[in-house]
Structure formats: C-alpha cells, structure tokens
C-alpha cells in the first residue's frame, strides 16, 4: 500500500474533509496518554509495515518526526488538533477505498479510532524519548548466547548431570523414573546404538556376568570398546549422511551415476572414528581445501557442499545465460546454503529465498549473502594424491609439462611463420603493391578492442616475435573503416605507448619505445607512424592505449597494422602471434591477426618499387632451403618433443590420484561451464524479488545471518580474493564458540539418535516454528560442556550412555503414561525400531554373511541398463548371493531416482532432501518385503546353514538361533512351539520367521 499518493493528497480539499468528517467514528471523550493509549495501537496494528523494521512508503509510526510530519513525498498524515481532517484517521476508518489501513486483517475498532482522534484533537502529544518497545529478534531460546547453566538445586555432585536435569523435571511433574534395564537389554541397546550391530552371544554372556558384579563399570568398558571399533564411525556417519542428503547419483532427469561421491562418505566415517573436534569437522566440510590444503580430509570434506542432488540437464544442456539455466543454478546454490545452515545451525534459512522469513529474523539479503558465499562453486570432481611425495612429484612434472608444451607451441608457431604463412603473406602483398593503381581496399581492417563507456580505460595488444630479435624500426598504422564510413584513423587512441620486452606480462625488462601517454595526440589518420628503435632487442612488442578513441557515445581502441623491421628490412611481425587484453573478433574486418597481416589501407597511386624489391628479395630468400630454418628450429622442436614424452611417461607412472566429488570451482571442459574459465571468480549475486531470477534487485556480497552480535554478518572479502576465503569466513562464523546455534544443534542431534527424539524435537529448526526444548537447561549444559570440553562426540556419547536415564527400562507404566504418554520427559527409555540399515546389516550378520570391508566405491545391488543416456537401475536383476553386496548398508551405492526398494520400504533416508529425523512407519508393504524380499529369503537359508554348522540337534540349533538373533535362550513355550515347526518346515523357515519377529525389529 502507498500511504498518501500525491493524487490522494489532491482530493483532500477542505470541503472534502468537511464532508468526510461526518463519517468518521466519534472522538473518545477523555484525556489521552500517548504511551498507554496510542503507542500500543501503532505497535500491534501498524508497525508490521510502518515500524522500526519496515517503512512502506517511507512512513513510520515509531518516530515522532516522521509520524507527525509525513513520509517521503507528502504532507502530514496527522494534523494536530484536527482529527477529522487527518488522513491517518480517514485511512483507518476505511474512508479511502484504495488506502484502507491496515490493509489486511480486521479494521481498527471504533473505540481505537476514537482514541486516535482524541489524541490528535488534544494536540497529538508525543512525549520526548517515547521510543517504541522493539522486541529483540535475538531474544529466542536458540539465539541467546550459550552459557553453562547451574545444575538443578539439590542434585548430587557425583551423579551424572544428565540425570540431575532429567530427574528434576520428572519430580516436578510427579513422574517416577523407571528401573534400570536388565544387562542383556543393555548390551543390545548400547551395541545397536553405537555400532548398529547386535552383540555376539559370547559378548553378551560376558557382559551379563560383568554387569552382575558392577554394572556401572561394565557399561563404561562396553561403551569404550564399542566407541573404539571402526563400526562406530560406520553407524554414526549414516546419521550425518541423512542430514546432508548424500547420494551416489545426480538425481533429476537422467539421474547419472556420480562415481566419485564416496570419498566424502569415507571422510565422514573416518572423522567419526577419529573423534575429530567438531569445529574442525565443520571447517573441513565448508572450506577444507583452503584451511587444510594438502590433507586428505581437507580435500574430501567439501564433498559436504556437493552431497545433494544436481540438475545435470539444467547445468549441462542449458547455459547460465538462459532463464532456465539461471533457475537451475540458483536452486543448486539454494541446496548448498540450506544444507549448511540446516545441518550446522538448525536454521530454516531457505524460507527467505522468496521473502523475508515469516517467523525468524532472516531477511532476503541475509539469505542471498549466503548464496554469494558459494557463488563461485559448482559440484565437480577434484583430484588428490594421498602420498605427499607423489603430490609434490606430480606438481613438479605438471609444471614441467606445461613449460615444455608452451615451448613446443612457440617453436612450431615460429616454424610455420618462417615457412608457409610468411611466404603466403609476402606473395599477397607483393601482388598488391604491383597493382599500384590506387588505394588498396581490403576488408581486413585491423584489430578492434571491446567497447567501453569511459575513455580512461587501459587496453593493450601485443605481438610475439617468437624469439628475442634485434630491431631497427617499428611502425604502426591507424585503421580506415570504409564499412561504417568513419574513415581514416578510426579508433586510433588519444594516448598510448609502445614497449618492448622479453616478458609477456611486461613486468620486467620493459623498454619504452614511444610514450604518448602524457597528453592527447592528434589522430594521424592512416599515415604510418615510425619509431626508430636503434637496435633494441626483445621478443614482445606491446601497444598500450591509455585513453581510448571516442565513437558515438562510447570508446574504443583500433589499429590496422604493426610492423617490426630488422636491419635487413624484414618485417618480423608479419604473421606473428598476437594477444590482447580483449578483442572484438568480427572476421573478416576485425581480428587480432589482421594487425600483422601485412595489409593496411594506403592511398598511394604508384607502385612502390623499392618496397617491392625488398619484399621480393625476402621471398626469394625464404624459398631457398637453407634459409628456411636458419636457427635450427626443427632440431629444437625435436628436442622438446623428446623431453615432453619423457615427462608424460613419468606422470603416467605415478600412482593414479584419487578423485572426489566436492563443491569447488569447476574447470572441466565440455558443455557444462563453471567459473573456472574466469579464474574462479564468484558469480554476481542479486537479491531476487519473490525468488524470481527475472527480477534481480540489489547486488549483495558474501555474508551470513546476523545472529552473533559480536561478529560481522557481512564478510569483508575483497572482490579479487580467492573465492575460498568466503567459505573460510563462513566456516569460522559457524564454528565460532560464540555462535549460539552450532553447539546446541549438534548435541541435540546426538541426543536424538540415542533417545529417539531430540531435546528439541525439530533438530534442523530451532526457529520460532520449531519445537521448544523440553529441557532447555540440559541442552545448554550439554552444549557448553561439549563446546568447552574438547568438542569430542565420543565423550558426549559416553556421558549419555552411562547416565541412569539412558539405562532405564523401556517398559510402560500406567501411572506415568497418564501424565506423559509420549515419554517426552524420559521417565523410561524409548524402544527403538531398527532403521533400514540396521535391519539389513543384522540380517547379514546373523546369517554369518556380513562383509566388513571398509571404504571405497559403494556396492551396487542393481544392474545398470542403458548407462550412457538415462541409466535404468534394475534391482530385480541383482544377484543377492554376490558377497560384494553383503557389505554394511552405509556402503550402498545410493541411487536417487530409483531408490533401493527394500531400504525404501523400511524408511531409509530419502537422499533428495535433508532428513533430520527419519519417518518411522509400520505398514503392509513393509511386512511383504520382510517376508518375501530375495535378500531375506536367501539369508534365511544361510542362517540355517550356519546353525547346522554350529550344532547337530534341533534343540541346540534353536538355542544357537536365539543366541545369535536375540542374545537369549528360547523360553519353554517358544521351544514347544518351534521345535515341531522346524520339524515340519525346516530350519530355513525358522530363520525366515526370526527375521520377521517383532523382537528382531525392535530393541527394548
């Protein structure tokens, strides 16, 4: 809405106001206090659009000088003493159909309008210093600075602080904690929780014995043993991979394989096993390449940024210049931004892509600053040598190869120039000169720079003579653009200089041949300018324009020809290599090579016989064989070729580098173009109105959310800094000990995976739409303990598992259930339904088939049909007996568009989205799969064979089966049922039955 359009203002003649005054609600009949009567109305009904945050139409009702004296372009909305004439009253009373205020929701009540009128009529008094109470957006549980709270009053100092907080809340609510679970239940619970695998019967028996003597010490020892097992990292990495939505294909259309995703998966497993300090874990994933260069984890960590899906068609088939290409890239960065902020900080930043976040203090600008952090990146492959010696060797050899290739190129250019090209150009020029009957006009005008809007722009063009040469004269000639009728001297710069050097960068050994940079020169037209260079020697001649030639409203630099003569009068520049800062290539008229093609416009009318003779002499010289290669160029080329081959062989002999799919500057060739071509320069990021790429608004630089008052939320990265410094800044912000979200987020996640629900049950959303923590002090205590105590996840696990809270029985209790049916306050342990991976891993484990090979490319439990175009992933054709596919589920090759049927029906994480908490369902399709899936059918047979190898009689086989699957002996009742069952239907049927029992899917 616009408060007071100029037109609306015009309608406010005194007569109109008088007419309207009869329609406004009556004035309140009492004396008004601004602070108690008026300001609350403004705050509740007007501030959303006209307050401290937003000022639509430039108008605001929180500051007296603007409220009382109008907005941007109009007179006052409030006329003290004249409420009936005050536009504000007309708006709130709905008298202006186009300007009803507030525009949404109920109108103000008659009473409120009466109060406003009375206030205006009484002089619109606005007490000095009456500043509106602005609610602090950071005053929210997850955004307050993290401080270590005191333990609840009366807690025993020696007890586990977790129990102190939990027990205090239970007592407060009249709930009783449950007794400790029995040792068998404990070892099953802790094993599944920490390593995802059932304990062996022997481990379980030993633990039960130990626990009978000292349960505390037995649990501590067990926990330490399991945390030290590599199986721990495999189990807990999977939780993190859910959150970052890791997958081994791109997803979307075609869903091509991503063969180098796995180094990131292995990195996560390695990091958990190494118990890396959490800040380091954050930093490696966001900016490991920059912060820890040359390390395997620094290289693989940024796989985090690339873990999610990628729209291959939107990137490879649609260029960034098209709307659809832009959309694909904005959405791709959106995934990077949201994954980062959801995973590490539990902020739903993605809500601010199209509009200001509706609930949390995040503006669109904040969101797009985060896009700017990642704007140089794409998802791409990067190589790495695990052995640092190999890395060093490769670097040296690569440099050598590059140098030799350049030499080879230069020498070949020279040979060509010496031979054919030079000869051809000479013949052509001689023929032209012999005609001699008038102006020679050819369309090859010369070199032309790109167009600029200001004349003071430096541009250069330079000629490479191949090797350093001794020169006597350099000439240059302006253009004659007959095409546009501009004529002689078109594009000849106002100020310029000519230099000679052996350094192509013109950083060192520069000899100035001519300097016209100090004042404007007159345009010489097409008259050739000559510089006597007196035997100076050099390889490169550079012509630099420092003030460009004016055209109609813009500025350019153009030049027809540069010649460089030796003492024999040979033009060494003829056909030489030309480079330039930029060039408008528009063949045949404008091209770099036109600068040395021997042609420039001349108005001579008679043949220049002296010139012809000189050129003919040179041509004849070139035609004799000896003169063709006076410097032995061919021999040099052969030498370079030999060295190059040797270097390439040496490179090939090095162990192949590893390749990881990470977030990085994409430098590859092909239809998908990243920022590599522009040196990794970040793309420009604009705030997009309603998130629409066709409506860019202000440009923004890198930054983050304004959630840590002590830290700048806009980053100070210079435009020419490497892009990685933006990610470094973000990594530092996220991992800073003052960040209130990071530490709460991770301990809450860990808590959730242990207990089934978080202290806040929305682990990726700590905002105002998320769940409030049930135990905020406990969360803060754990977060500060974790942050300040070494950031060790293993320490945190140990603390949790050794608590009495964790060790409670999962059995129900009628009384407690009435008060807290969902067990929010943890008066018992939650029974765990095994996740898809745990079901499959334990089916394999119990069957004796689990293959514990770690790391490397994932196992594929499908056959790929049509791999080249749109791969079909055919699970039904996989051989379930293949031992390579019997590895732990964390090593599964995860396909996004055609998910693994068994894992999917068992609620595994969908790699298309960040999964902070898995859905847990019970349904008929699950039952069908557990009963009939080829894997369970096959593993039941293997399980049976294992039982037969362990024991001879059915009774002992049944015991062994129960020992392996349930860590217990069958009851007498079970025996009496199952022994006849086995007799009738066989051991395999028993094993299949066991996989389907509730006891196999639920851990007490």
Residue whose CB is less far from other proteins, 307 or 426? 307
In this structure, how many other beta carbons lie within 10 angstroms of the beta carbon of residue 678? 12
Q: How far is the CB of 836 from other proteins (least distance, A)?
A: 10
Question: 166-181: string of b/e by CB count within 10 Å (b at 16+)?
Answer: bbbbbeeeebebbebb
Residue with tokens 């020696």: 158
Residue whose CB is less far from other proteins, 423 or 913? 913
Residue whose CB is less far from other proteins, 357 or 794? 357
CA atoms within 13 A on the CB side of 722: 10
- Could you tell me which of 96, 138, 41 has the C-alpha nearest to residue 51? 41
Residue whose CB is less far from other proteins, 252 or 267? 252
Q: How far is the CB of 781 from other proteins (least distance, A)?
A: 21
Residue whose CB is less far from other proteins, 252 or 715? 252
Residue whose CB is less far from other proteins, 580 or 823? 823
* Spatial contact of 478 and 511, defined as CB atoms under 8 Å apart: no
What is the 3 state secondary structure string of 465-525? EEEEEECCEEEEECEEECCCCCEEEECCCCEEEEEEECCCCCCCCCEEEEEECCCCCCCCC
Residue whose CB is less far from other proteins, 792 or 904? 904
Q: How far is the CB of 98 from other proteins (least distance, A)?
A: 19
Say how far apart CA 626 and CA 635 lie, in whole Å: 14
CA dihedral defined by 763, 766, 771, 776, rounded to 10 degrees?
A: 100
Residue whose CB is less far from other proteins, 433 or 960? 960
Residue whose CB is less far from other proteins, 253 or 788? 253
Residue whose CB is less far from other proteins, 254 or 401? 254
Residue whose CB is less far from other proteins, 417 or 908? 908
Q: How far is the CB of 787 from other proteins (least distance, A)?
A: 24
Mode of pairing for the β-strands spanning 529-532 and 555-556:
unpaired
Q: How far is the CB of 171 from other proteins (least distance, A)?
A: 20
Q: How far is the CB of 388 from other proteins (least distance, A)?
A: 40
Q: How far is the CB of 960 from other proteins (least distance, A)?
A: 18
Q: What are phi and psi of 287, to 5 degrees?
A: -155, 35
Residue whose CB is less far from other proteins, 390 or 979? 979
Residue 464 in tokens = 């490479």
Residue whose CB is less far from other proteins, 253 or 638? 253
Q: How far is the CB of 258 from other proteins (least distance, A)?
A: 15
In this structure, how many other beta carbons lie within 10 angstroms of the beta carbon of residue 305? 26
* Spatial contact of 595 and 498, defined as CB atoms under 8 Å apart: no
Please, which residues have CB within 8 angstroms of residue 38's CB and are 6 or more apart in sequence? Answer: 32, 115, 116, 119
Residue whose CB is less far from other proteins, 183 or 970? 970
Q: How far is the CB of 163 from other proteins (least distance, A)?
A: 20
Q: How far is the CB of 457 from other proteins (least distance, A)?
A: 30
Cα(first)–Cα(last) distance of the chain, in Å?
Answer: 60
Say how far apart CA 718 and CA 731 lie, in whole Å: 17
Q: How far is the CB of 471 from other proteins (least distance, A)?
A: 49
* Spatial contact of 353 and 334, defined as CB atoms under 8 Å apart: yes
Residue whose CB is less far from other proteins, 150 or 973? 973
Say how far apart CA 55 and CA 47 lie, in whole Å: 8
Say how far apart CA 448 and CA 557 lie, in whole Å: 6
Alpha helices in 789-919 (DSSP H): 793-801, 814-819, 836-846, 901-905
Q: How far is the CB of 902 from other proteins (least distance, A)?
A: 8
Q: How far is the CB of 254 from other proteins (least distance, A)?
A: 7
Residue 468 in tokens = 């350093």
Q: How far is the CB of 869 from other proteins (least distance, A)?
A: 5
Residue 449 in tokens = 């720079």
Q: What are phi and psi of 583, to 5 degrees?
A: -160, 140
Residue whose CB is less far from other proteins, 115 or 351? 351
Q: How far is the CB of 877 from other proteins (least distance, A)?
A: 12
DSSP class of residue 712 equals -
What is the 3 state secondary structure string of 273-289? HHCCCHHHHHHHHHHHH
* Spatial contact of 739 and 708, defined as CB atoms under 8 Å apart: yes
Q: How far is the CB of 964 from other proteins (least distance, A)?
A: 17
What is the 3 state secondary structure string of 619-687? HHHHHCHHHHCCCCHHHHHHHHHHHHHHHHHHHHHCCCCEEEEEEECCCCCCCCCCCHHHCCCCCCEEE
In this structure, how many other beta carbons lie within 10 angstroms of the beta carbon of residue 24? 22
Residue with tokens 């290599």: 577
Residue whose CB is less far from other proteins, 795 or 831? 831
* Spatial contact of 578 and 461, defined as CB atoms under 8 Å apart: yes
- Residues in the chain, how many? 1004
What is the 3 state secondary structure string of 842-874? HHHHHCCCCECCCCCCCECCCEEECCCCCCEEE
Residue whose CB is less far from other proteins, 614 or 937? 937
Rg (CA), the chain: 39
Q: How far is the CB of 818 from other proteins (least distance, A)?
A: 9
Q: How far is the CB of 817 from other proteins (least distance, A)?
A: 5
């Amino acid at each position: 809405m616009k408060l007071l359009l100029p037109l609306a203002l015009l309608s406010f003649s005194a007569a109109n106001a008088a007419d309207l005054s009869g329609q406004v609600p009556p004035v309140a009949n009492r004396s008004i206090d601004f602070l108690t009567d008026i300001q609350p109305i403004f705050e509740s009904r007007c501030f959303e659009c006209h307050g401290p945050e937003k000022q639509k139409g430039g108008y605001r009702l929180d500051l007296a000088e603007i409220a009382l004296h109008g907005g941007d372009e109009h007179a006052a909305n409030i006329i003290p003493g004249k409420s009936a004439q005050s536009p504000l009253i007309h708006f709130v009373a709905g008298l202006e159909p186009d300007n009803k205020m507030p525009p949404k929701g109920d109108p103000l009540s008659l009473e409120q309008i009466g109060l406003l009128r009375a206030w205006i009529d009484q002089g619109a008094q606005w007490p000095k210093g009456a500043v509106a109470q602005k609610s602090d957006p950071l005053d929210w549980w997850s955004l307050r600075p993290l401080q270590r709270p005191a333990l609840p009053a009366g807690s025993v100092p020696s007890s586990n602080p977790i129990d102190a907080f939990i027990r205090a809340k239970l007592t407060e609510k009249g709930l009783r904690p449950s007794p400790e679970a029995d040792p068998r239940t404990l070892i099953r619970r802790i094993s599944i929780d920490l390593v995802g695998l059932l304990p062996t019967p022997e481990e379980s028996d030993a633990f039960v014995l130990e626990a009978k003597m000292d349960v505390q010490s037995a649990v501590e020892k067990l926990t330490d043993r399991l945390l030290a097992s590599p199986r721990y990292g495999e189990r807990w990495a999977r939780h993190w991979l859910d959150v970052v939505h890791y997958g081994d294909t791109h997803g979307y259309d075609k869903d091509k394989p991503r063969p180098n995703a796995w180094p990131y998966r292995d990195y996560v497993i390695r990091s958990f096993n190494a118990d890396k300090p959490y800040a380091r874990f954050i930093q490696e994933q966001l900016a490991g390449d920059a912060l820890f260069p040359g390390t395997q984890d620094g290289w693989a960590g940024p796989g985090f940024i690339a873990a999610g899906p990628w729209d291959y068609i939107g990137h490879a088939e649609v260029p960034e210049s098209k709307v659809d290409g832009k959309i694909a890239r904005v959405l791709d960065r959106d995934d990077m931004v949201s994954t980062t902020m959801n995973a590490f900080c539990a902020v739903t930043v993605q809500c601010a892509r199209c509009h200001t976040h509706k609930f949390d203090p995040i503006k669109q600008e904040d969101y797009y600053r985060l896009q700017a952090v990642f704007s140089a990146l794409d998802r791409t492959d990067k190589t790495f040598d695990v052995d640092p010696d190999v890395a060093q060797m490769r670097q040296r050899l690569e440099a050598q190869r590059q140098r030799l290739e350049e030499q080879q190129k230069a020498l070949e250019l020279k040979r060509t120039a010496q031979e054919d090209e030079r000869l051809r150009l000479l013949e052509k020029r001689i023929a032209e000169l012999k005609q001699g009957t008038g102006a020679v006009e050819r369309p090859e005008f010369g070199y032309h720079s790109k167009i600029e809007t200001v004349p003071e722009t430096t541009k250069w063009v330079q000629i490479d003579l191949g090797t350093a040469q001794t020169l006597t004269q350099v000439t240059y000639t302006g253009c004659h653009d007959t095409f546009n009728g501009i004529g002689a001297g078109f594009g000849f710069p106002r100020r310029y200089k000519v230099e000679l050097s052996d350094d192509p960068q013109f950083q060192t050994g520069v000899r100035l041949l001519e300097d016209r940079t100090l004042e404007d020169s007159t345009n010489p037209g097409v008259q050739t300018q000559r510089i006597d260079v007196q035997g100076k020697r050099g390889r490169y001649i550079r012509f630099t324009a420092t003030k460009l030639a004016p055209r109609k409203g813009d500025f350019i630099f153009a030049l027809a020809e540069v010649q460089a003569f030796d003492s024999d009068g040979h033009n060494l520049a003829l056909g030489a290599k030309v480079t330039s800062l930029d060039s408008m290539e528009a063949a045949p008229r404008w091209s770099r090579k036109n600068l040395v093609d021997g042609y420039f416009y001349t108005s001579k009318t008679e043949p220049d016989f002296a010139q012809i003779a000189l050129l003919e002499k040179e041509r004849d010289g070139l035609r004799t064989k000896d003169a063709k290669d006076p410097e032995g160029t061919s021999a040099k080329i052969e030498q370079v070729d030999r060295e190059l081959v040797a270097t390439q062989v040496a490179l090939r002999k090095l162990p192949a580098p590893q390749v990881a799919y990470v977030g990085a500057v994409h430098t590859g060739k092909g239809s998908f173009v990243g920022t590599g071509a522009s040196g990794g320069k970040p793309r420009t990021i604009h705030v997009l109105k309603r998130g629409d790429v066709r409506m860019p608004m202000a440009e923004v630089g890198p930054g983050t959310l304004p959630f840590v008052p002590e830290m700048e939320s806009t980053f100070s990265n210079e435009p020419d800094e490497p892009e990685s410094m933006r990610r470094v800044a973000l990594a530092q912000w996220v991992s800073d000990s003052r960040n209130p979200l990071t530490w709460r987020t991770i301990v809450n996640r860990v808590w959730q995976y242990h207990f089934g629900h978080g202290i806040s049950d929305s682990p990726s959303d700590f905002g105002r739409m998320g769940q409030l923590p049930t135990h905020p002090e406990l969360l803060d205590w754990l977060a500060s303990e974790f942050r300040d105590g070494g950031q060790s996840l293993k320490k945190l696990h140990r603390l949790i598992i050794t608590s009495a809270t964790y060790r409670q029985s999962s059995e129900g209790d009628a009384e407690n259930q009435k008060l807290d049916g969902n067990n929010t306050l943890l008066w018992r342990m939650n029974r765990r339904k095994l996740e898809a991976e745990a079901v499959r891993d334990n089916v394999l484990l119990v069957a004796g088939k689990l293959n514990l090979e770690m790391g490397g490319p994932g196992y594929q439990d499908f056959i790929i049909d049509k791999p080249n175009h749109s791969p079909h992933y055919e699970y039904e054709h996989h051989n379930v007996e293949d031992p390579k596919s019997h590895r732990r589920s964390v090593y599964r090759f995860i396909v996004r568009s055609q998910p693994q049927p068994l894992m999917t029906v068992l609620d595994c994480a969908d790699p298309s989205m960040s999964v902070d908490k898995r859905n847990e369902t019970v349904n008929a399709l699950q039952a069908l799969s557990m009963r009939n899936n080829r894997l369970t059918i096959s593993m039941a047979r293997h399980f049976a064979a294992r039982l037969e190898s362990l024991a001879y009689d059915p009774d002992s086989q049944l015991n062994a089966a129960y020992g392996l699957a349930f860590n217990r002996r069958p009851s007498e009742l079970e025996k009496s049922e199952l022994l006849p069952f086995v007799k009738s239907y066989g051991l395999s049927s028993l094993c299949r039955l066991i996989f389907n029992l509730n006891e196999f899917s639920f851990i007490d």
